[in-house]
Structure 1
Amino acid sequence: MEALDRLYRSLDARPRPEDVAVLVLEVNRSLTRRERAVIGNVAGHASRWQGFSGMSDDYARPVGAARQVAATRRLFDVDAAVDTEDPVSVLEFAELAGAGIGWDPEHTDFLADRLNREAREAAGVELSKRQYNRRFRMLRRLSAKADRLGRAQRLRSATLLASAGFVDVIDRERFGADVDAACFVAYFTARRKLRREFSLTGRENPFDQVADVLFARCRARADTDWAMIALAHPVWDVLRHLSADQLGELLGRWSAATRSLAAVLDGVWRSSDIDRATMVVRSGVDSSTWNAFAGAYNAARAAWISCLHAAGLSSLLDDAWPGKAMRVMAADLVAWHGGLHPDTSVWARLPLPWEVLDGTAACTRADVEAACREHGVDPERAGWTAPREHGAIARFRPTPELVHGVSVSDPLWGMVLRRAHVFSGKAVRAEVLGGQNTLG
């Protein structure tokens, strides 16, 4: 596979930035000596530990329904076409297969929704009770698989959107047509995809010295595909190069994403027992799902506001300004940081953002600014009412090996700790650590 193809495939994965830097050196043959030195310095770290890492280089990919569909085909003798990676297609296949036994995808409860003998006879189902039950169970499992597959796909899409924007709409031909823009997008999104590390300083600026070099090359050219870069990096320095039509299209994308993700958060919020005042995770709360969608919503909201500012239309939100969504955090991490982040108090003070977006609650820009002042937060610098600006260009540091956010000395040790459930909040598996029940 060519280096450019590998670089393109990295958009939908989670490679280390240093690994992407290696591909950039292979792909972009026109780099100057200085540019090659800067990028090469970072790429050199890819060979650390002989290039091995105990962390996955991809986001979890949903497993399709091929196994369940194959079993259903055998039982029902149905040969209809089905896309086993598409939950809608899988559910349609289940409905088709179940037509002969009167199965309804909206009523799949095994105890309440099965047909009794009289109903089966009326529906023309000439099967024994045992065979009917067997088929009902099969369709119920297939329907449940379609539901799980859809949720997993939405979760992965949200996770990717939060860290890489709309890179999924960039096709291979467009990606290869502008090598400088392609290299910047691939490297910058790899930096944004870095896992969260427990620290007191927060996440570092993803725009490091390599991103700066690659972005400078884009600025130096007259025919740069700024619209492609804007899909992953919607900031003023990029948006100002877009035409009115391009900016309008991007604004529409981020607006739709913000509203869609807010609706998802609404559903997750209703089904969760989250303390809004503290956002400290409780037992039974699916923090991973909430944090993934909250991160995606915040990224979409920030990009939406950036586009509105670039278009000179931010006043459109003055009367209905949705706030940010806070992530849930472990109590020990909150204590380590010395207490709640001021943004949490602002979040608790304002109406829920999805209620503002659907019109069931009122929240003006002035309300957001007042809540921020009340809790000592600068509304613009904190990203509540304006595009958040990052500070100075970050200095690259080798990607750390993390075990549930904690940096460890090497990948093999990290794999042992991960297998032993260390730092996971679960009971430590002592047998993995040679029978010891502590790290000492």
Structure 2
Amino acid sequence: MKTIENLHKTLIQRKRPEDVAQIILEVLEYNLSSNEKDILKKASKGSLKNTFFEYTSMMQEFATAIGAEKQIKKTIEIFKLSNKDSVDYYNVDDIKKFIEEVSPLINKVVGANNFLSDRLNKEQRKEKGLNLSKRSYNKKWRLLKRLENKLLKYKREIKKIEFQKIGKHGLAHTIKFQEFQKDLNSACFIAYYNSRCNLRSVFTNTRQERAFDEISQMLLNRCKGISTNTVLGILKTKNKLKQTNKTNWWAISHIYTSQEVLGNLSDKHKGELLGKWTGILQEIADLLAEIWLKSDIDRQTMVVKRGNDSTTWNNTAGAWNKARDNWMNIIYALGMDYILDEICFGKVLRLMAADVVAWHHSTGGKLDPNTDIWNKIPLPWEVFQGKENCNKELVVKYCNQAGVNPEKSGWIAPRVHGVAEFKPTPELVHGVTVSNPYLATVLKKHKYFSGKNVKPLFPERN
């Protein structure tokens, strides 16, 4: 059971596929064919457990938002409060409740933060029975204002991190242990595919590595009741085995929404997923609109320039595209693709680093034709807000003009992917592959490949 719990924990982590494969080998130790073991060992042999130093420079966790501990403790100190030790500094509702309980102590209205018009003057303080000097009152008023601002910032950071996770692996991190443990094969597929989805992007002028690899395929085949065995060196697949009823397709659909997976769900579950993803699209659209208005993004080229918050934009754009793909998959699974005749949200392009674009052009590449489509169709959040109209006919028109197949490219239909060959996870420093994890750690510390001023490795020699 402990091993299953460890496997479940990887859903909220960024474990390397090699390390997740090692856990799966332990979980399915007596339930694997010789060929299945060989396939898993392609990855597990590179796990930290099987390496001499057991070390990687890659972070094993997603970023976390910093709570309001500092601000709340200071407020308790300045206001000389007691019985406030139970406040959870990382719980939005607790922080909000704390603000609402403390603000009346100086007759401050929550949300009224204009320094000139929302503070009480001497007469008003006296009228309210506040026996505070101007200096003491202002200090407490400013402190509560900073706490309110911290809450707003904290909520925004939580949302940004949530969208980053969605952009990587859909809703995998929301699967509860009780649901996860229902079927072993399903759990193993979800955990391994999740680790592949969470891989970092590599600095390249070609496509990124596809998440669905040969190990993902083998684990999914087990969920489908297909077992592989090696006989006389020839791989034979037993396709017509009786499928069990234990496969947890509902859990799998939180990370992998192929038509085959969705076909195993009830219409009720499909409808529930559609509602979830539509709501998520709306939340992401709001943040995209906010970032777009605050940034001076070059829509024509989508090349990043000074002042662009490329990290937030790219993470949020990735979340939109992932949510859109899932939304698209579900409406097709429900036979509701006629919706696209009325409303068809476009993709959101990521910002590209200028050096990557230059590298791409130097090798004979051209501007991604999807950029041309992105430039012509209405912005997705404006469509969501009802300010613009965009339907399937319009998208197909601009796809054809750009020489892009609207169906195979995922603009108007679910995208179909192949099966990638497993490749060892590289140690990366800002997307650049470094052979040694210790060297990678040093280079990160000194800001190599970051686009920032590099700290010399040996400053005394300069």
Q: TM-score range by the shorter chain?
A: over 0.9
SS in 2 for 1:51: coil
Name 2:28's counterpart in structure 1: 28
Name 1:278's counterpart in structure 2: 301
Residue identity opposite 1:366 in structure 2: E
**Segment drifting more, 295-304 vs 275-284:** 275-284
- 1:124 lines up with 2:129 in the alignment: yes
- Tell me, yes or no, if the aligned pair for 2:395 and 2:412 is still in contact at 8 Å: yes
Q: TM-score, normalised by structure 1?
A: 0.95
Residue by residue, what CA displacement relative to the aligned partner does 1:345-374 show, whole Å, maximum 9, x if unpaired? 111111000111222101111110111111
Name 2:448's counterpart in structure 1: 422
- 1:195 lines up with 2:200 in the alignment: yes
- Tell me, yes or no, if the aligned pair for 1:320 and 1:357 is still in contact at 8 Å: no
Tell me the distance in 2 between the aligned counterparts of 1:278 and 1:49. 46
**Deviation for aligned residue 1:48:** 4.0
SS in 1 for 2:224: helix
Tell me the distance in 2 between the aligned counterparts of 1:56 and 1:11. 14
Residue by residue, what CA displacement relative to the aligned partner does 1:274-333 show, whole Å, maximum 9, x if unpaired? 111111112121111111111001100010000011111111121211100111111111
Name 2:159's counterpart in structure 1: 154
Identity rate of aligned residues, in percent? 39
**Deviation for aligned residue 1:434:** 4.1
SS in 2 for 1:237: helix
**Deviation for aligned residue 1:227:** 0.9
**Deviation for aligned residue 1:112:** 5.2
Name 1:208's counterpart in structure 2: 213
Tell me the distance in 1 between the aligned counterparts of 2:186 and 2:334. 23
Structure 2: state its 5+ residue gaps: 226-242
Residue identity opposite 2:196 in structure 1: R
SS in 2 for 1:147: helix
Tell me the distance in 2 between the aligned counterparts of 1:139 and 1:407. 46
SS in 2 for 1:84: coil
Name 2:382's counterpart in structure 1: 355
- Tell me, yes or no, if the aligned pair for 2:205 and 2:356 is still in contact at 8 Å: no
Tell me the distance in 2 between the aligned counterparts of 1:210 and 1:410. 25
Tell me the distance in 2 between the aligned counterparts of 1:111 and 1:279. 41
Tell me the distance in 2 between the aligned counterparts of 1:416 and 1:387. 42
Which of 206, 222, 225 aligns to 2:244? It is 222
- 1:237 lines up with 2:260 in the alignment: yes
Task: Please list, as runs of the form range in 1=range in 2, the aligned pairs for 1:299-318 lying within 5 A after superposition.
Answer: 299-318=322-341
- Tell me, yes or no, if the aligned pair for 1:95 and 1:103 is still in contact at 8 Å: no
Name 2:416's counterpart in structure 1: 389
Name 2:145's counterpart in structure 1: 140
Residues 49, 277 of structure 1: CA spacing in aligned structure 2 closer, same or farther, 3 A cutoff?
Answer: farther
- Tell me, yes or no, if the aligned pair for 1:302 and 1:387 is still in contact at 8 Å: yes
**Deviation for aligned residue 1:144:** 2.2
Residues 111, 19 of structure 1: CA spacing in aligned structure 2 closer, same or farther, 3 A cutoff?
Answer: farther
Which of 238, 242, 263 aligns to 2:286? It is 263
SS in 2 for 1:402: strand
- Tell me, yes or no, if the aligned pair for 1:209 and 1:395 is still in contact at 8 Å: yes
Which of 69, 72, 92 aligns to 2:72? It is 69
**Deviation for aligned residue 1:78:** 4.8
- Tell me, yes or no, if the aligned pair for 1:87 and 1:147 is still in contact at 8 Å: no
SS in 2 for 1:232: coil
**Deviation for aligned residue 1:408:** 1.1
Name 1:79's counterpart in structure 2: 83
- 1:398 lines up with 2:424 in the alignment: yes
SS in 1 for 2:403: coil
- Tell me, yes or no, if the aligned pair for 1:78 and 1:97 is still in contact at 8 Å: no
Residues 436, 102 of structure 1: CA spacing in aligned structure 2 closer, same or farther, 3 A cutoff?
Answer: farther
Tell me the distance in 1 between the aligned counterparts of 2:187 and 2:24. 9
Residue identity opposite 2:409 in structure 1: A
SS in 2 for 1:59: coil
- Tell me, yes or no, if the aligned pair for 2:3 and 2:27 is still in contact at 8 Å: yes
Name 1:5's counterpart in structure 2: 5
Residue identity opposite 2:20 in structure 1: V
Q: TM-score, normalised by structure 2?
A: 0.90
Q: By percentage of residues, which structure has more helix? A: 1
Tell me the distance in 1 between the aligned counterparts of 2:209 and 2:351. 20
SS in 2 for 1:177: coil
Tell me the distance in 2 between the aligned counterparts of 1:49 and 1:429. 30
Tell me the distance in 2 between the aligned counterparts of 1:280 and 1:378. 24
TM-align CA RMSD: 1.7
**Segment drifting more, 59-68 vs 274-283:** 59-68
Structure 1: state its 5+ residue gaps: none
Size of the aligned set, in residue pairs, is 435
Name 1:369's counterpart in structure 2: 396
Residue identity opposite 1:388 in structure 2: R
Residue identity opposite 1:350 in structure 2: I
SS in 2 for 1:231: coil
Which of 54, 59, 64 aligns to 1:56? It is 59
Tell me the distance in 1 between the aligned counterparts of 2:65 and 2:144. 20
Tell me the distance in 1 between the aligned counterparts of 2:408 and 2:52. 39
SS in 2 for 1:191: helix
Residue by residue, what CA displacement relative to the aligned partner does 1:132-186 show, whole Å, maximum 9, x if unpaired? 1221222122222212211111111111111121123321122112110000000
